[in-house]
Amino acid sequence: MSDFNWCHGPECHTKHTVDRVRGVKGSKVLRTRKIKLNNWNSGSQWGFFCSNHCQNDFWKTYATQIVAIAPRTECQETPILDPERKKHTHEYSWGNHSYYDTKIEVDETRQS
Ligand SMILES: [Zn+2]
């Protein structure tokens, strides 16, 4: 198995950066970036893309084909308990500060 991937960004080899310049004088090229695989990037998108930009280019080109792998034709739902809106007040030397938050909890009794 190879210990690297070529970046899958369809435009990677067209970006003007000096690290992509390869070849001998008189026949220089911009080359797709090589991604060395390691514990950090193996199995994630960073093992296939050298940058967010290249990943975005890939999505722009192949989005329809990518989602066809696992199409979502219906929404999904997670059962929750009735949300509780709660006021929190903190006392400071200069006065009180209050804020509200809403607690959302999964209803484990309704899990399928
Ligand atoms: Zn790239």
Arithmetic mean of pLDDT, 34-54? 96
* Terminal alpha carbon distance of the chain: 40
Ligand 1 centroid – CA 20 distance (Å): 10
Mean pLDDT, the chain, integer: 95
10 Å CB burial of residue 50 (0-12, 13-18, 19+) is: buried
Ligand 1 centroid – CA 81 distance (Å): 45
Ligand 1 centroid – CA 112 distance (Å): 42
| Per-residue confidence band for 112, with pLDDT thresholds at 50, 70 and 90 | low
Tens digit of each residue's pLDDT (9 = 90 or more) over 57-108: 999 999 999 999 999 999 999 999 999 999 999 999 999 999 999 999 999 9
pTM confidence score: 0.74
Ligand 1 centroid – CA 51 distance (Å): 6
pLDDT of residue 2: 84
Residue 67: CB partners within 8 Å, gap ≥ 6?
A: none
